[in-house]
């Protein structure tokens, strides 16, 4: 029998390559560009979750290294590699110590591990920043990407990994569209509630290297010293003799 070829277009497995994914990436790109203004003229590392065109982001830095996760890297059981400006593995980044002042993990949160964070802590400069952007599982925006099954991670797990890797989380904010997108004035919900991170399509973590704290020395107790009365009397007599001898020599 003759083979019948399907004329239907192949299913897009990468949600970030869809129209809704591009819209979210554009809103996140504006936030990343504002964050790079603090690191203007520095070196930056961008690790994206896929090779979608929306991840191509021009940053105002002296040098940008863009790497993206290859297929299978987001799977915990099957580690893949990284593509982009160079090819390497997640657990062996070919960079020197304190190379970057800004590192952006853009929808590649499932690649976060103790090994990767240990490398990032060495690659990041002492005053550098680490930005982590990931999809929000609790937002109603998940109906846009749920059937594509992108790699996501709960926010509590990301914060725990960052703290365990030697980073302090300084800020958590929501990015992208919020729900409800519009509301009448009669609704009692406050504006601060609508700006909550768990209502946004994605979330942003701002982390910095944890500075070693000062170690306080314990207070030393003064020991009581017992002085023999006879020895004290001898020392006083010797001091008087020395003073009288100095007076005779001066005369």
Burial class (CB in 10 A: 0-12, 13-18, 19+), 120: buried
Domain range for residue 96? 15-209
CATH number where 76 lies: 3.40.50.150
- Say if 155 falls within a structural domain: yes
Encode the chain (251 residues) as per-residue pLDDT tens digits.
444 444 444 444 788 888 888 888 888 888 888 877 776 668 899 998 887 777 887 777 788 899 988 765 444 444 558 888 889 888 889 999 999 999 999 998 878 888 999 999 999 998 889 999 988 888 877 887 888 888 788 888 999 999 999 999 988 888 877 765 544 444 444 555 556 777 788 888 999 998 776 555 555 555 555 555 555 565 566 666 667 766 776 66
Residues 6 or more apart whose CB falls under 8 angstroms from that of 244 comprise none
Which pLDDT does position 100 carry in this prediction?
92
Nearest-CA neighbor of 129 among 50, 230, 200, 61? 61
Determine the longest span between alpha carbons in the chain, in angstroms: 135
Q: For residue 65, tell me if it sits in a domain.
A: yes
Residue with tokens 């065109």: 53
CA–CA distance, 23 with 25 (Å, rounded to integer): 5
Report the candidate in 21, 205, 31, 44 with the shortest Cα–Cα distance to residue 109: 205
Is 156 among the domain residues? yes
User: To which H or E segment does residue 78 belong?
Assistant: none
CB 32 within 8 A of CB 59: yes
- Residue 170 resides in a domain: yes
Q: Which residues contact 199 (CB under 8 A, 6 or more apart)?
A: 139, 174, 178, 179, 193
What is the number of residues in the chain?
251
Q: Which residue matches tokens 């504002």?
A: 34
26 belongs to a structural domain: yes
71 within a domain of the structure (yes/no): yes
In the prediction, which pLDDT does 141 show?
Answer: 76
**Which residues are registered as beta bridge partners of 169?**
207
Domain count within the chain: 1
Give the pLDDT of residue 80: 57
CA distance 50 to 22: 12
- Pick the closest to residue 167 from 214, 103, 99 (CA basis): 103
Burial of 153 (0-12, 13-18, 19+ CB in 10 A): middle
In a domain, 115, yes or no: yes
- Position 225 in a domain: no
Does this model's pTM top 0.75? My answer is no
What is residue 192's predicted lDDT score, i.e. its pLDDT? 57
Q: Using CA atoms, how far apart are residues 141 and 152, in angstroms rounded to an integer?
A: 13
Strands 100-106 and 43-48 turn out to be parallel
């Amino acid at each position: 029998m003759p083979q019948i070829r399907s004329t239907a277009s192949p299913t897009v497995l990468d949600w970030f390559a869809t129209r809704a994914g591009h819209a979210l990436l554009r809103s996140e790109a504006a936030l990343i560009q504002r964050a790079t203004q603090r690191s203007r003229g520095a070196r930056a590392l961008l690790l994206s979750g896929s090779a979608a065109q929306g991840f191509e982001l021009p940053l105002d830095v002296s040098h940008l290294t863009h790497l993206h996760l290859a297929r299978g890297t987001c799977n915990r059981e099957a580690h893949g590699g990284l593509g982009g400006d160079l090819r390497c593995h997640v657990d062996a980044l070919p960079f020197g110590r304190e190379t970057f002042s800004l590192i952006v993990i853009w929808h590649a949160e499932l690649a976060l591990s103790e090994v990767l964070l240990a490398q990032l802590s060495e690659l990041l400069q002492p005053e550098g920043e680490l930005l982590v952007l990931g999809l929000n599982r609790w937002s109603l925006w998940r109906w846009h990407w749920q059937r594509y099954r992108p790699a996501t991670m709960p926010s509590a797990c990301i914060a725990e990994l960052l703290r365990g890797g030697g980073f302090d989380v300084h800020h958590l904010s929501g990015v992208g569209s919020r729900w409800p997108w519009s509301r009448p004035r009669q609704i009692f919900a406050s504006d601060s509630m609508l700006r909550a991170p768990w209502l946004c399509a994605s979330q942003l973590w701002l982390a910095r290297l944890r500075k070693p704290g000062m170690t306080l020395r314990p207070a030393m107790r003064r020991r009581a010293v017992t002085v023999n009365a006879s020895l004290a009397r001898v020392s006083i007599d010797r001091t008087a003799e020395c003073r009288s001898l100095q007076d005779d020599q001066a005369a």
